């Protein structure tokens, strides 16, 4: 198969906000306990943080981490997780049917962020609680001066404010599974008031309104429109969440889910701009894709109700999952002008790229690698190339391009990176890439993941699914001919 790709600097879709490469830690399963935090583990530091996990988080180069949920946050009393650990209450977490010991809380998380070179994207509870508790948390976290909540923080040993800049106004408030689920109008009013008060407490923060819990939510579209009409002026982003699965075992349809993703993103942009038009507003609301991943492998795994940190949502990912993750990242970059925040859900153990054994080792899941590549090399601006290639039909979609492709251009480093997925399970492809105005640029690295069975996985014992380096593609006068394998993830890097 041949694919003709044309690339030029003018094909810019937008500046890439580094927060597009964020992730997520929820008090869920072994994400915190046995994941990022495990006092007594041989790799734990003086704070009980697993340094083997921190090393891999640094490799992923994750600029923000959403915390503490997820569904968990909708029943969370943040005050339970601060101050003297010995005095913190154990609570039932109704979201996941577990017991939360609260031995790890907000300040511990902020300390962990510092060590992991990342920043916190904090979610407030708008399920069982309201605007008052939310603004108190902003005061506790961000207020420098003398006030009851800031003084409480100081009395906990944190004299300087944490200055958390990004705040989620609840989580999936449209979902019937959510503690304190609401109608769009009720949520819009609450989010509006909470955001106003949080910003009056600290005008430097930005807030994220909950969009629908997925594109399949029965109120999708209407939810965004109604809640935005109420809260438009006081919020900055609207959230999107989407997980994909391949329960049917139809790989061609699974990899084609990016067409649906594309529709989803486009629809949310349209709703935001529809409300903008109605309001004759000068302000543009951007998108925060703050939960996305593949999620299904672990769905029916049993666990003990009300136990602490059980093995929940521990998907072990295979090679085809890694290809979909690569394609999803490409899709996000195509909308870099509007998607400013992204959170791969989640980061450790719970539907995550990093997997640990409590008391034991660690390994990188298959999905670790495409995320690592895009997060590290996909900086600067996104360039959407013209791709002419064969298409396929499958059960769920028609006209699916075999090749997904995006390029990023880092002007400062004078680097261009081309990311491409070949969705064909049988045919390799020759990419004939015309770099129109990149004089002096030459390829210096060609990384790929290919040759694996679609079900191949990594484990503690062995990690066969890894990227490898290839011979550099032929390159002459701005024309590159790159041979890519069937069913592959590809990263071609050029510099001046």
Please state, in angstroms and as integers, the Cα–Cα distance from residue 169 to each residue in 76, 131, 181, following that order: 13, 9, 13
Sheet holding 415-422, edge to edge: 12-15, 381-383, 403-410, 415-422, 488-495, 442-449, 468-469
CB 82 within 8 A of CB 105: yes
Which one, 291 or 450, has the nearer CB to ligand AHR? 291
Q: Which stretch binds ligand AHR (CB under 6 A): 66-74, 193-201, 368-376, 462-470?
A: 66-74
Mark whether 59 is an active-site residue: no
- Binding of ligand AHR by 172 (CB under 6 A): yes
Q: Which two tokens stand for residue 238?
A: 């609207």
Q: Give the ranges where 89-221 is alpha helix by DSSP (H).
A: 106-115, 131-142, 148-155, 184-201
Contacts of residue 266, defined as CB under 8 A and 6 or more positions apart, other chains included, come to: none
**Is 291 a residue that touches ligand AHR (CB under 6 A)?**
yes
Question: Considering only 50-58, 67-75, 86-94, 488-496, which stretch makes contact with ligand AHR by CB under 6 A?
Answer: 67-75
Q: Report, in Å, the least distance between residue 243 CB and ligand AHR.
A: 7
Does the annotation mark 260 as catalytic? no
**Cβ 345 to ligand AHR, closest distance in Å?**
4
The total of other beta-carbon atoms located within 10 Å of residue 72's CB is 25
Of residues 84-123, those binding ligand AHR (CB under 6 A): none
3-state secondary structure of 351: coil
From 71, 286, 365, 448, residue interacting with ligand AHR (rule: CB under 6 A): 71
Minimal distance in Å, beta carbon 71 to ligand AHR?
Answer: 4
Candidates 82, 345, 347, 389: give the one binding ligand AHR (CB under 6 A).
345
With respect to ligand AHR, which residue has the nearer C-beta, 138 or 351? Answer: 351
Exactly one of 5, 16, 21, 26 binds ligand AHR (CB under 6 A); which one? Answer: 26
- Residue whose C-beta lies closest to ligand AHR: 70
Q: Which helix (H) or strand (E) holds 474?
A: strand 474-476
Residue of 98, 107, 125, 171 interacting with ligand AHR (CB under 6 A)? 171
Considering only CA atoms, give the Rg of the chain.
23
Q: How far is the CB of 344 from ligand AHR (least distance, A)?
A: 10
Task: Annotate 308-329 with DSSP letters as a single string.
Answer: SS---S-PPPBHHHHHHHHHHH
Identify the active-site residue in 291, 372, 415, 457. 291
Angle at CA of residue 265, ends 260 and 271, nearest 5°? 125
Q: Catalytic: which of 119, 139, 172, 224?
A: 172
Instruction: Report the catalytic residues.
Output: 172, 291
Binding site for ligand AHR (CB under 6 A): 26, 69-71, 171-172, 213, 291, 345-346
């Amino acid at each position: 198969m041949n694919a003709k790709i044309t690339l030029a600097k003018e094909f810019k879709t937008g500046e890439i906000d580094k927060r597009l490469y964020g992730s997520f830690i929820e008090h869920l399963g072994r994400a915190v306990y046995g994941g990022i935090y495990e006092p007594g583990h041989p790799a734990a530091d003086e704070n009980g943080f697993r340094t083997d996990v921190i090393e891999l988080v640094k490799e992923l180069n994750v600029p923000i981490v959403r915390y503490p949920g997820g569904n968990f946050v909708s029943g969370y009393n943040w005050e339970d997780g601060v101050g003297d650990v010995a005095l913190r209450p154990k609570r039932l977490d109704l979201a996941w049917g577990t017991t939360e010991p609260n031995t790890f809380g907000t300040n511990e998380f902020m300390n962990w962020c510092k060590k992991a070179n990342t920043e916190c994207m904090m979610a407030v509870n708008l399920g069982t609680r309201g605007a008052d508790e939310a603004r108190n948390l902003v005061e506790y976290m961000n207020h420098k001066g003398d006030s009851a909540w800031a003084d409480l923080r100081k009395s906990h040993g944190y004299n300087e404010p944490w200055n958390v800049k990004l705040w989620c106004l609840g989580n999936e408030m449209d979902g019937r599974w959510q503690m304190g689920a609401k109608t769009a109008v009720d949520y819009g009013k609450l989010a509006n008031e909470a955001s106003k008060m949080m910003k009056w407490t600290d005008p430097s923060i930005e807030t994220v309104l909950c969009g629908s819990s997925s594109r399949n939510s029965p109120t999708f579209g209407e939810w965004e429109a109604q809640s935005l009409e109420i809260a438009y002026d006081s919020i900055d982003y609207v959230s999107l969440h989407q997980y994909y699965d391949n329960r049917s075992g139809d790989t061609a349809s699974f990899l084609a889910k990016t067409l649906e993703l594309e529709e989803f993103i486009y629809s949310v942009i349209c709703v935001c701009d529809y409300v903008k038009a109605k309001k004759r507003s000068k302000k543009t609301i951007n998108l925060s894709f703050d939960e996305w991943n593949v999620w299904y492998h672990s769905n029916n795994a049993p666990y003990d109700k009300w136990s602490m940190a059980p093995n929940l949502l521990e998907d072990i990912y295979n090679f085809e999952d890694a290809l979909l993750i690569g394609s999803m990242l490409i899709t996000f970059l195509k909308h870099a002008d509007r998607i400013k925040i992204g959170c791969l859900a989640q980061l450790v153990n719970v539907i995550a790229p990093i997997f640990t054994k409590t008391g034991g080792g660690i390994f990188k899941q298959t999905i670790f690698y495409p995320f690592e590549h895009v997060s590290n090399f996909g900086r600067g601006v996104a360039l959407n190339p013209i791709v002419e290639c064969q298409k396929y039909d499958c059960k769920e979609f028609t006209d699916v391009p075999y090749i997904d492709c995006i390029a990023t251009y880092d002007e400062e480093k004078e680097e261009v990176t081309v990311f491409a997925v070949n969705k064909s399970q049988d045919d390799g492809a020759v990419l004939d890439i015309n770099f129109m105005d990149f004089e002096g640029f030459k390829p210096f690295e060609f990384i790929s993941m290919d040759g694996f069975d679609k079900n191949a996985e990594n484990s503690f014992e062995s990690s066969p699914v890894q990227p490898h380096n290839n011979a550099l593609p032929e390159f002459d006068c701005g024309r590159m001919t790159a041979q890519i394998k069937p069913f592959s993830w590809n990263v071609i890097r050029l510099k001046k």
